[in-house]
Homo-oligomer: A and B are copies of this chain.
Amino acid sequence: MLIVMKPQATEGDIRGVCEKIEALGYRAHPMPGAQRTAIGITGNQGALEAAEFESLAGVAEAIRVSKPYKLVSREVKNEDSLIRVGTGENAVTIGGRELTVIAGPCAIESREQAFAAAERVRRAGARLFRGGAFKPRTSPYSFQGLGKAGLEILAEVRREFGLAIVTETIDPENCDLVEQYADVLQIGARNMQNFSLLKRAGRSSKPVLLKRGMSATLEEFLMAAEYILSEGNYHVILCERGVRTFADHTRNTLDLSVIPAVKRLSHLPIIVDPSHGTGQRDKVTPLARAAVAVGADGLMIEVHPQPERALSDGCQSLYPDQFEALMEQVSAIAAVVGRTTAKSLPIFD
């Protein structure tokens, strides 16, 4: 159920409604909007009585939410969510007019590699840096990431290049460590329904980038995000990264139709990862253009200073020059769909 407050409702009115909800044993999710505040209720078994809330001070109406997902739904919050990432000079807003570009290597391999990548993606206009310190790999014998040493390098990258850091967390305990370093916690496709991790991320103060599972329906994707919001963290960015089909000309099949589908149902921003979505370097830029054209809020791109020597996902990583060309092209598309990009910000001055 959603309690919509009157425009003139006071802080006290809002607090009163939340206290009433919690006294009944449920959870209150106040969501301030431009015009007025709404308060989502979760934790109830079965339907609630609207009348019980509509008589409280400051309440405009109590609305039943028809979808299985509640807090992620446009029924509960109609305006697009803006997710603020980083602080001070590194601060970026995701979901607004500016197209978000996250770029960097699949895995952090060394300080040199990370710095070389960061310098180039920053110069080309990326505002966020990606790089895995903890890598979930299909084989137990593959490179699993540098771990804490990788996180330290990422912290240096942030300081040195003014890039906000997006990096993956792989289990609840690991989240304790990663959230000390990351500006955005990434949850990978294989963990989209790792509900323990989703709940833990839901108790973090850091925004969460949630990748769609390889065979997740739209409803399952939104329900996974709902797990995070239901624990109190409303700062979730969705990410389409391709789904698994019979098609064998790409590693996954990038499902760009999910972008307008999400936009219709949810207020959360959604970005696209054409690197994993195609698995092939020469397909990344065309699909990045398409992602911006379809209406995505941003892109996540793998860039490596020497892709042929990468310890993971080399064949889908762009050369820095290719990333620069990509930024040129997506900036032009972005302009057509009413978005801006920070294609080329001055650094070191």
Contact = CB atoms under 8 A, between A and B. Distances in A.
Interface of A: 42-44, 68-70, 136-141, 170-174, 190-191, 193-197, 199, 214-215, 217-220, 223, 226-227, 230, 243-250, 253-261, 264, 277-278, 282-283, 286-287, 289-295, 329, 332-333, 336-337
A230 to B, nearest CB: 4
A43 B140 CA distance: 9
Contacts of A294: 286-287, 289-290, 293
Centre residue among A214, A254, A257 by max chain B CB count within 10 A: A257
Nearest to A227: B140
A140 to B, nearest CB: 4
A316 B286 CA distance: 26
B246 A68 contact: no
Nearest to A248: B217
Contacts of A291: 290
A196 B171 contact: yes
6 contacts: A249-B258, A250-B257, A257-B287, A286-B295, A287-B294, A293-B293
A170 B193 CA distance: 11
A338 B55 CA distance: 61
Which of the listed residues A256, A278, A294 has the most CB atoms from chain B within 10 Å of its own CB? A256
A91 B316 CA distance: 41
Contact of A170 (B191, B195, B261): B195
A196 B187 CA distance: 13
Nearest to A264: B282
A187 to B, nearest CB: 11
A144 to B, nearest CB: 8
A138 B191 contact: no
A96 to B, nearest CB: 19
Contact of A289 (B197, B227, B244, B337): B337
Return the 5 tightest CB-CB contacts between A and B, nearest first: A171-B196, A215-B215, A293-B293, A190-B193, A290-B290
A333 B253 contact: no
Contacts of A277: 257
A197 B218 CA distance: 26
A167 to B, nearest CB: 16
B254 A247 contact: no
Contacts of A261: 249-250, 283
Given A250-B261, A291-B290, A294-B286, A197 B215 contact: no
Contacts of A256: 254, 256, 287, 290
Contacts of A332: 336
Pick from A218, A249, A295, A333 the residue with the most CB of B within 10 Å.
A249
Contacts of A253: 243, 245, 253, 255, 257
